[in-house]
Amino acid sequence: MDVRHYYSGPWLPGVPAGAAAVRRLARPLPSGTAAMEAPANHPTQEAVIIFTSGTTGAPKGVVHTRGSLAAGFQQLSNRCTFAEGDRIHSEQLMMGLPALIAGAHWTMPSYGFSAHINPLRLVDELGPVAGRKNGYDAATHLFLVPSQLAPILDALERGEVQLPDTLKTVMLGAAPVLAPFLQRAMKQLPGVDFKLIYGMTELLPIAIADGQEKLDFASGTNAEHRSSDGSGEGDFLGEPLPAVGVRIGDDHELFARGPNMCSGYLGDEPMVEHATGDLVRLDHGKTGPGKPARLVMIGRKKDMIIRGKTNIYPGLYEPLVAGIEGVHQAVMVGVPDTIGDEAVWLAVVPASGHSTDTLRGRLTKELPRLIDESALPDRVEMLDSIPVSGRHRKPDRAALQRRFAETTAMDHA
């Protein structure tokens, strides 16, 4: 590619040959040299290529333009506000750049882009920072995925860490945020505003929900937030953001478009709309006519389980199972049998302090009350942990399927 590379700080392995130190840009121009003109604004010009994590398929190069990035920043700022004097702590480009544009500081965690974090070290980076050389104030905004926040909550419960009083907003994204986990986080951090960001590399963000808004929907006790069918079932995502257009396919798949959508995949034709692979339903609740419908996720298209004549969406039931006392995490997968059908297996990780036998008895009693008879699991497996994959450490359903398939084969041996 016809580009010029610059680097800051010491030269490190991996810097392209011929790269120049960025400090050279600050040198005065030689006498008689014409100053460079500022480049014209071309919204359709390619700006960045971001590769997907590949957790739901082969990684793809997502091409964003100047215009799509700018629109994404603007949509994010509709619900996640940054101001001069704020400090956001995140490794995410789509969080840090809007903060800089707003005049705030952007700092990156010491773990960089690694999926594994030391919660004690991360919290220590948030502040207070009296006497430190960087001179920054303590963090006001923090972006995490749920699997990163979980060990921090554990450390808070054990009294090993303490978050700074300056922290006012925690943004969660990149993976589902289940209501029981959110309730736990909001209880431990009562003065913090939680923003739940739904989107993907191709189109970010699509919707942003407030923490209390999601809990109200899950409980079904608030008439304004109650589901139109009274159930509160599914994973509440919130209203689509103003510039985002959505349509729902016949199979409930969400298709989205907007100025913040990428131009397409590297080497492919331009994208007209993005097929998210997420299965959703539209919910109008009690907001009244003319109000925007809210998105409620019921599962992923590739995660759908087919048993007999029934299509089972794990995302519709996993939040309900996770809400049972003693359940730390729950994942539902389909395991093919010898006749081409799928058996429904439910993997459950008990919460700390809850015995496996007691929880199994509670599940036996509660599951028929929470789950449709046609979707009840054929087998419940208690695990110490759920396998994860990808840079955001999402549950690895394929690994669970392989594990349970091996168990089935051994049972029939």
For position 212, what pLDDT does the model report?
A: 92
The percentage of the chain sitting over the pLDDT mark of 90, rounded to a whole number, equals 29
- Residue 175 identity: A
Which tens digits make up the pLDDT trace of 379-390? 999 999 998 876
pLDDT higher for 49 or 413?
A: 49
For position 353, what pLDDT does the model report?
A: 85
pLDDT above 60: residue 224:
no
For position 39, what pLDDT does the model report?
A: 67
pLDDT above 50: residue 132:
no
Q: Measuring CA to CA, which residue among 146, 128, 223 is closest to residue 184? A: 146
Degrees (nearest 5) of the Cα angle 301, 303, 309? 85
Q: What is the CA radius of gyration of the chain?
A: 24
| Mean of pLDDT values over 117-131 | 70
Which tens digits make up the pLDDT trace of 66-113? 999 999 999 998 888 898 889 999 888 888 888 998 889 998 887 766
pLDDT above 70: residue 130:
no
CA distance 203 to 360: 41
| Mean of pLDDT values over 392-397 | 76
For position 372, what pLDDT does the model report?
A: 79
Tell me the CA end-to-end span of the chain in Å, nearest whole number: 57
Q: What is the pTM of this model?
A: 0.70
Q: Measuring CA to CA, which residue among 62, 24, 92, 27 is closest to residue 262? A: 62
For position 189, what pLDDT does the model report?
A: 92
Under the banding of pLDDT at 50, 70 and 90, the label for residue 226 is: very low
For position 231, what pLDDT does the model report?
A: 47
The percentage of the chain sitting over the pLDDT mark of 70, rounded to a whole number, equals 84
| Mean of pLDDT values over 105-132 | 70
For position 57, what pLDDT does the model report?
A: 54
For position 134, what pLDDT does the model report?
A: 45
Please tell me which of 149-158, 296-305, 322-331 the model is most confident about, judged by mean pLDDT: 322-331
For position 228, what pLDDT does the model report?
A: 43
If one counts every other C-beta atom within 10 angstroms of the C-beta of residue 190, the result is: 6
pLDDT above 70: residue 64:
yes
Are 69 and 186 contacting, i.e. CB atoms less than 8 angstroms apart?
A: no
Domains and CATH numbers, the chain: 52-300 (3.40.50.12780), 304-411 (3.30.300.30)
Under the banding of pLDDT at 50, 70 and 90, the label for residue 114 is: low
Are 274 and 203 contacting, i.e. CB atoms less than 8 angstroms apart?
A: yes
Q: Which residues pair with 51 in a beta bridge?
A: 61
- Phi-psi bin for 274: left (phi > 0), alpha (psi -120 to 50), beta? beta
For position 412, what pLDDT does the model report?
A: 66
| Mean of pLDDT values over 318-323 | 86
For position 206, what pLDDT does the model report?
A: 95
Q: Which residues pair with 261 in a beta bridge?
A: 203
| Mean of pLDDT values over 161-187 | 87
Degrees (nearest 5) of the Cα angle 236, 240, 243? 165
Enumerate residues 6+ apart whose C-beta is below 8 A from 115. Answer: 390, 391, 392, 393
| Mean of pLDDT values over 13-31 | 81
